[in-house]
Homo-oligomer: A and B are copies of this chain.
Amino acid sequence: MASNSFGLFFRYSTWGESHGPGIGVLVDGCPPGLPLHEDLLNAALARRAPGQNPFTSPRAEKDEARILSGVFEGKSSGAPISILIENRDAASSSYAPLADLLRPGHANFTYLAKYGCFDYCGGGRASARETAARVAAGVVARQLVASLCGAVVAAWLEAVGTARAALQADAGRAAAFAGQSPLFAPDAEAERLFQQELTQAVQEGDSVGGVARFNISGAPVGLGDPVYEKLSARLGYAMLSIPGCKGFELGEGFAAAAGRGSNLNDPFILRDGRPACSSNHAGGTLGGISNGEPIYGRAAFKPTSSIGLEQSTLDLRGQEAVLRLPPGSRHDPCTAVRAVPVVEAMCWLVLADALLMRRALGEAPCS
């Protein structure tokens, strides 16, 4: 019920404000015996850390995760895993001038209306920093998935504003390149285009949106539970919970809505002696259950609400006002960039949960 948790069997809960002592995540429902070490967490956190490239927030923090519980002699013990990420270098003062202004496109208006208070220093729970906790939980999920099947998750940036990457024929190759790219671009040309688009936006004191693409290969048949725990619906739910996410597609998504059944039905063939599909328009699920083909889709992120340009707005007393971010205030011009590792984490988390669900319910005990 509590709204800061995600997952049914493999369940994690995030907490923390971006300018408090720290943020963290509690992972419960993790089976024992999984190798876990803080280095794994820190490596993953480093991927989404700010200050990595000229286009992310200059905030210089380096996230370090501490495992406070649930690991005994290097392996998960079956107990809840509590992970703490301390906040450093939190220059809240720079936000003080904004304390009494409604910020267009920003959550402070709705938080104020709903909770009667808003942590203007960094956005409280609405801060993208919450996603660091997801990345940490995603590592635990990845270890669980690795112990149960050979599924591999990859994500990359497919578009920044109007700049789009070419469609990637080879997901593995795109993922490999993205792994090295500061912008999570799938190839050199995309990286160049994204850089161009971002440079221009920054120069104009503006922000841009972007699209992340995910690809899960090697997932077994049978993940996802009709009718409300469909793998497709869980993935969409997971992505849409990421700050700024405004759209989700599985497989061909909206394009499929414009197509014909005769073109989009993926024919069944034999592959390695087992039923498989000769195409994958569906994106790896049928009836919400994984069919053994790669599971792919996209998540759309709106532009960062914080921009350098002046914006007309209201103050808390309802007076017209002009919002000017203080010079040197810290925000990414494109949150989609750092969303890429979060999209990956959400894939691992959804997979881990679906795998446990299948283990509990999905197999006939008598057969």
**What is the bound-complex CA distance between A210 and B270, given in angstroms?**
31
**What is the bound-complex CA distance between A246 and B21, given in angstroms?**
40
Stretch at the interface among A52-60, A124-132, A168-176: A124-132
When the two chains form the complex, which single residue of B201, B248, B265, B283 contacts A248, counting CB atoms closer than 8 Å?
B248
A16 adjacent to B286 (CB under 8 Å):
no
B28 adjacent to A2 (CB under 8 Å):
yes
What is the distance, in angstroms, from A173's C-beta to the closest C-beta of chain B?
Answer: 24
What is the distance, in angstroms, from A207's C-beta to the closest C-beta of chain B?
Answer: 4
Determine if A167 is an interface residue (Cβ-Cβ < 8 Å): no
When the two chains form the complex, which single residue of B24, B251, B300, B356 contacts A68, counting CB atoms closer than 8 Å?
B24
Residues of B within 8 A of A290 (CB): 110
What is the distance, in angstroms, from A100's C-beta to the closest C-beta of chain B?
Answer: 13
A240 adjacent to B246 (CB under 8 Å):
no
Known: A253-B247, A259-B208, A259-B303. A114 touches B311 (CB 8 A): no
Determine if A95 is an interface residue (Cβ-Cβ < 8 Å): no
What is the distance, in angstroms, from A347's C-beta to the closest C-beta of chain B?
Answer: 15
When the two chains form the complex, which single residue of B241, B287, B313, B363 contacts A126, counting CB atoms closer than 8 Å?
B287
What is the distance, in angstroms, from A6's C-beta to the closest C-beta of chain B?
Answer: 5
- The chain B residue sitting closest to A364, CB to CB, is B33
Main secondary structure of the interface of A (DSSP, over half): mixed
Residues of B within 8 A of A75 (CB): 117, 366
A13 adjacent to B26 (CB under 8 Å):
yes
Determine if A3 is an interface residue (Cβ-Cβ < 8 Å): yes
Determine if A328 is an interface residue (Cβ-Cβ < 8 Å): no
- The chain B residue sitting closest to A360, CB to CB, is B360
Known: A26-B15, A240-B232. A303 touches B69 (CB 8 A): no
Residues of B within 8 A of A201 (CB): 260
A290-314 contacts to B (CB < 8 Å) = 290-291, 298, 300-307, 309, 311-314
Determine if A23 is an interface residue (Cβ-Cβ < 8 Å): yes
**What is the bound-complex CA distance between A346 and B20, given in angstroms?**
29
Determine if A367 is an interface residue (Cβ-Cβ < 8 Å): yes
B3 adjacent to A228 (CB under 8 Å):
yes
- Given A13-B13, A161-B259, A232-B240; 14 other pairs, CB 8 A cutoff: A14-B227, A31-B365, A72-B124, A105-B286, A111-B226, A148-B365, A162-B258, A247-B247, A247-B250, A253-B300, A254-B254, A257-B302, A259-B303, A267-B313
